[in-house]
Structure 1
Amino acid sequence: MYRVLISDPLSEDGIKPLLEAADVETIVDPSMSHEQLLEAVGSVDAMIVRSQTQVTREVIEHAPHLKIIGRAGVGVDNIDVEAATENGIVVVNAPDGNTISTAEHTMAMLMSLARNIPQAYHQLQQKRWERKKFVGVELKDKVIGIVGFGRIGREVAQRAKGHRMKVIAFDPFLNEEKAEKAGVKHGTLEEVLQQADFLTVHTPLIDKTKHLINEEAIQKMKTGARILNCARGGIIEENALYEAVKSGKIAGAALDVFEEEPATDHPLLSLPEVIATPHLGASTIEAQENVATDVSYDIIELLRGGTVRNPVNLPAVSSEMMEKLSPYFKLSEQLGVFLSRVVAGTLERVQVYYSGDLLDVDTMPLTRIAVKGILKRHLGSRVNDVNAFKTAADKGITINEQKSTSTQGFTNLITVEIESDQETRTIAGTLLNGLGTRIVQFDHYSIDVVPEGHLIVIRHTDQPGAIGRVGSLLAEHQVNIATMQVGRTNEGGEAVMVLSVDKEIEGDCHEKLADIADISQVQCLTL
């Protein structure tokens, strides 16, 4: 008999698979104290939480029989995933359960924003009948700009088309071909901002998307456009939005999320053009049931020896295999991260080659980590070692791995190749005994670079003085060069320069580097 602890309020219909399982004893107690939780987890095989229970390292270390933790929702911020992985505990979530709920809430907010419904109802509550004050706009023929075209973004697009809106979408994994199949127009972020009458965001919150819609972005939008956020607080810079609505640049905003919640005293709520809800995107009976059901089935499946559908941490690997692979984990991810930062266009294919010492081992975990490194640029912590392949497939990216006898003189070699709709880029790395990870090839250039810290990658023509001019400019900006590697194919031809520097490039330094004679491209990245 398996014991499952549910320590947060969940839909009873959602946990019905557990309640009806003959080999499962389900303990439901959403009111237990921390001390009671520590005692209760000592005898359970699985536990399900929502957002109330904090599954800390302490909790995990008090649970010697725990095999799986389920999060009835998307985020796992309240679960110490690292501690769970260290203790061999699988963590699962329910990424699809609230897709429809959030998309529908976005459309409800869109309609309410267009027709001033909350404001008009508030006036009626005050016994005022003011029809002329609340003249709205029709959605037909208006342009809705969707930033983030994942599951929810696609669902919003379908509903918007039902209202005969014109849809333009931006996503780093979306290109013209994929957009055409989805029946929408593909645009750059700037094009979406410029064309949107209504702008809605559906991206994860990572460093790259934090304050993505800021003052500069808002200034590129049409005067009188409207903005919605039913995704994550922090994607929109709220002070900039406040000023834009107050000035009339933005006609109105609909917000379900805020950077800091609860946000009952937020300045945006003082503006009559702003409507808001208290993070209700996933708050439907169906969504609550769906996420609980998804997690319940995963828990039953794993306890009975099956495979889970939505794992968020590293799957089990034998200790013998782990000993062989673990030294290459860091290198695999670094190669993926590096290459993702320099490739242009929409990703279509990833090919990973292994040779030398890696010929006789199962390298699939390394490929997963390399793909995770590639996808992290746009998805952050939402992509992990387990869901990397599925996430890539969802984005239309093909993944292949291949063993090769060509070692180029190295005892081990990992080569990662990315093909986009614009170009193909390649990077190769090795693990040097006692010296750590090294990048030994970038495209067709031989180099020797430690893939860590702040790097500047410069494509240039091999002419006298190029290196000196770069060094002088960096010195002017108080940027110290730690190492420099130059690769070239022939004298006077195309070359690549990779510099390791002590701090991140700031201000106009990047633009000045790009303006130096004989330099064709400058890319700054931090690993």
Structure 2
Amino acid sequence: MTLHILVSDPLSEEGLQPLRESKNIEVTVNTSLSKEDLIASIGRYDALLVRSQTQVTREVIENAANLKVIGRAGVGVDNIDLEATTEHGILVVNAPDGNTNSAAEHTIAMLMALARKIPQAFTALKEHHRWDRKSFVGVELKNKTLGIVGLGRIGSEVAARAKGLRLNVIAYDPFLTEEKADKMGIEYGTLDEVLQKGDFITVHTPLLKETKHIINRDAFQKMKDGVQIINCARGGIIDEEALYEAILSKKVAGAALDVFEEEPLQNFKLLELPEVIATPHLGASTVEAQENVAIDVCQDVLEILTGGLAKHPVNLPSLPLEVMKKIEPYFVLSEKLGSFVSRLSDEAIEEVCIYYSGELADLNTAPLTRNTVKGMLKRYLGDHVNDVNAPYLAKKKGITVNEHKTSSTKGFTNLLTVEIKTKTGLKKVAGTLLNGLGARIVKVDDYSVDVTPAGHMILIRHKDQPGAIGRVGTLLAKFDVNIATMQVGRSNVGGDAIMMLTVDRQAEEHVISQLKELTDIFNVIAIDL
């Protein structure tokens, strides 16, 4: 089957080359699609590659019947409706590392140009032929304080370069600790402290609901008189109207902007102020950055389309490689357990509890939880449910999902238990990985078993009485259903018990019905894993 990829924004050919060379992948490059054209054509594509130009709206997503992944060649994904992609099970990946160096260098270039008024002096010299040295007296950066709001990849690189320029650096980030700041040789500060101490302030946060207009009128009031502002991150982090007012009032002595609330820029009001310098979103516009982000995102898309895992998922939790290596062997088991437990009751599931025991309890198991929920929901939703939209779909169906962790494993190195709650009670299944034997179901409700979670299975609840196993075997033989393995678990002699059978082909419904009519049989469930 041929997989189709649409590239709707300009991407480096070096990045696209591995996709073009892959078997069963067809790449279409069309960078002049209108919104209407994109909506009309997106239904035939399995993957979409964009930069910041293409607007991937909910309407686009709702018409993308085959879309599996969207790759953003860059960091910001504010041109992609993440809520819609998650609802429809479409994975979004980006390339957060490829343009880090370029964006940091551009920030420093803007900082120095702002401090020395280089663009204004150049314009006066070239366009007006003015040899004017007095009007463009700048300030040194040495011993000034640079306040950084957001200390992720790019913010950290800016901090390192600023120290080389002998600037004092104070930074705020929700995940920054005093210990980490000390190791970096910078000062740790609250947001207010950064605003109050900075001679220059640069922002490096993503554009989120929480960060939109984080630099607003109130923020400007907390700053020093004569502060200078840099934004090479995302338009909208700074309230442009508030910035305009702050420059007019002389609170802000200058601003260097690479990004704007509306792009391409339509309102040039800010740029009419002589204190403002600007570039048209050039932070990642270097040959190296464009190649790097294209290579990174295309590799991720290729990995996903060929059954691998994404390195940089946006709408899935991302884990360090060493953690992923530890939990990856449990992916098949977690989905199988979710699928198995969903068949133990025909009632609506109200709650699912996933218990991680042993070494698993010390790891980030969020991907396994998603995988378990996916397996559980597939009974009802089929292939529509995947790792991306499983939590959303569970919530939409009113199912609460909880994780629990404990060091107690009851004899196993690791144990994964999935429990569902319905209106009338609880059902559960537990599994583990056995060295050399792979995934195993080791408990169904309170009965101990040892079954490989694969193929055609029949779960029988019965009374522990002589002849029960024989009657089941005889009836299945009558309908030419061969038993491959059988496990029996019981609570006590003569009490309730279960049989777990694996069979060579699934018993048809009329066979299951006749099994239910046998003496001492309480219930029979056919399970395909």
Please indicate the TM-score interval, normalised by the length of the shorter structure.
0.5 to 0.7
The answer as to whether partners of 1:328 and 1:366 remain within 8 angstroms in 2 is no
Secondary structure of the residue aligned to 1:13 is helix
1:215 aligns to what?
A: 217
Per the TM alignment, residue 433 of structure 1 is displaced from its structure 2 partner at its CA by 6.2
Per the TM alignment, residue 116 of structure 1 is displaced from its structure 2 partner at its CA by 0.3
Deviations 1:229-286 (A, max 9, x none): 1112222222332222222222111111222333343332121111112222222222
Per the TM alignment, residue 191 of structure 1 is displaced from its structure 2 partner at its CA by 1.7
2-structure distance, mates of 1:207, 1:102: 23
2-structure distance, mates of 1:312, 1:104: 25
2:97 aligns to what?
A: 96
2-structure distance, mates of 1:323, 1:52: 45
2-structure distance, mates of 1:82, 1:323: 29
Per the TM alignment, residue 137 of structure 1 is displaced from its structure 2 partner at its CA by 0.8
Does the C-alpha gap of structure 1 residues 261 and 84 become closer, same or farther in structure 2, counting only changes over 3 Å?
closer
1:143 aligns to what?
A: 145
1:301 aligns to what?
A: 303
Unaligned runs of 5+ in 2: 318-330, 343-348, 372-386, 390-402, 409-419, 425-529
1:70 aligns to what?
A: 71
The answer as to whether partners of 2:4 and 2:25 remain within 8 angstroms in 1 is yes
1:483 aligns to what?
A: none
The answer as to whether partners of 1:365 and 1:385 remain within 8 angstroms in 2 is no
Secondary structure of the residue aligned to 1:15 is helix
Q: Which amino acid aligns with 1:303?
A: L
2:314 aligns to what?
A: 312
2-structure distance, mates of 1:64, 1:267: 42
Secondary structure of the residue aligned to 1:136 is coil
The answer as to whether partners of 1:256 and 1:278 remain within 8 angstroms in 2 is yes
2-structure distance, mates of 1:190, 1:223: 15
1-structure distance, mates of 2:96, 2:35: 27
The answer as to whether partners of 2:58 and 2:84 remain within 8 angstroms in 1 is yes
Per the TM alignment, residue 117 of structure 1 is displaced from its structure 2 partner at its CA by 0.4
Secondary structure of the residue aligned to 1:200 is strand
Does the C-alpha gap of structure 1 residues 243 and 285 become closer, same or farther in structure 2, counting only changes over 3 Å?
same
Equivalent residue runs for 1:449-488 within 5 Å: none
The answer as to whether partners of 1:353 and 1:401 remain within 8 angstroms in 2 is yes
Per the TM alignment, residue 144 of structure 1 is displaced from its structure 2 partner at its CA by 0.5
Per the TM alignment, residue 139 of structure 1 is displaced from its structure 2 partner at its CA by 0.9
- TM-score calculated relative to the size of structure 2: 0.59
Structure 1, 143-152 or 67-76: larger mean CA deviation: 67-76
Match of 1:234 among 200, 222, 236: 236
Q: Which amino acid aligns with 2:162?
A: A
1:514 aligns to what?
A: none
Per the TM alignment, residue 218 of structure 1 is displaced from its structure 2 partner at its CA by 1.8
2:250 aligns to what?
A: 248
Equivalent residue runs for 1:33-432 within 5 Å: 37=38, 40-56=41-57, 59-60=60-61, 64-124=65-125, 125-314=127-316, 318=335, 321=338, 364-365=366-367, 402-403=405-406
2:497 aligns to what?
A: none
Per the TM alignment, residue 192 of structure 1 is displaced from its structure 2 partner at its CA by 1.4
Do structure 1's residue 4 and structure 2's residue 21 form an aligned pair? no
Equivalent residue runs for 1:17-28 within 5 Å: 17-28=18-29
Deviations 1:426-455 (A, max 9, x none): xxxx99969xxxxxxxxxxxxxxxxxxxxx
2-structure distance, mates of 1:167, 1:207: 26
Percentage of matched positions with identical amino acids: 62
Q: Which amino acid aligns with 2:143?
A: D
Structure 1, 266-275 or 76-85: larger mean CA deviation: 76-85
Does the C-alpha gap of structure 1 residues 196 and 322 become closer, same or farther in structure 2, counting only changes over 3 Å?
farther
2-structure distance, mates of 1:233, 1:209: 11
1-structure distance, mates of 2:105, 2:121: 22
Q: Which amino acid aligns with 2:71?
A: G
The answer as to whether partners of 1:42 and 1:62 remain within 8 angstroms in 2 is yes
Does the C-alpha gap of structure 1 residues 66 and 222 become closer, same or farther in structure 2, counting only changes over 3 Å?
closer
2:472 aligns to what?
A: none
Per the TM alignment, residue 172 of structure 1 is displaced from its structure 2 partner at its CA by 1.5
Equivalent residue runs for 1:423-442 within 5 Å: none
Structure 1, 7-16 or 72-81: larger mean CA deviation: 72-81
Unaligned runs of 5+ in 1: 333-351, 370-383, 387-399, 406-429, 435-527
The answer as to whether partners of 1:223 and 1:248 remain within 8 angstroms in 2 is yes
Per the TM alignment, residue 95 of structure 1 is displaced from its structure 2 partner at its CA by 2.1
1-structure distance, mates of 2:336, 2:38: 31
Does the C-alpha gap of structure 1 residues 123 and 145 become closer, same or farther in structure 2, counting only changes over 3 Å?
same
Per the TM alignment, residue 365 of structure 1 is displaced from its structure 2 partner at its CA by 4.7
Q: Which amino acid aligns with 2:13?
A: E
- Give the RMSD, CA atoms, in angstroms: 3.8
Per the TM alignment, residue 169 of structure 1 is displaced from its structure 2 partner at its CA by 0.7
The answer as to whether partners of 1:367 and 1:401 remain within 8 angstroms in 2 is no
2-structure distance, mates of 1:95, 1:321: 33
2-structure distance, mates of 1:30, 1:201: 31
Deviations 1:316-369 (A, max 9, x none): 98497289799569xx9xxxxxxxxxxxxxxxxxxx9889xxx9xx96358789
Per the TM alignment, residue 133 of structure 1 is displaced from its structure 2 partner at its CA by 1.1
2-structure distance, mates of 1:8, 1:261: 15
Does the C-alpha gap of structure 1 residues 13 and 320 become closer, same or farther in structure 2, counting only changes over 3 Å?
same
The answer as to whether partners of 1:14 and 1:296 remain within 8 angstroms in 2 is yes
Deviations 1:111-145 (A, max 9, x none): 10000000000101211100111111111111101
The answer as to whether partners of 1:144 and 1:168 remain within 8 angstroms in 2 is yes
- TM-score calculated relative to the size of structure 1: 0.60
Name the count of aligned residue pairs.
360
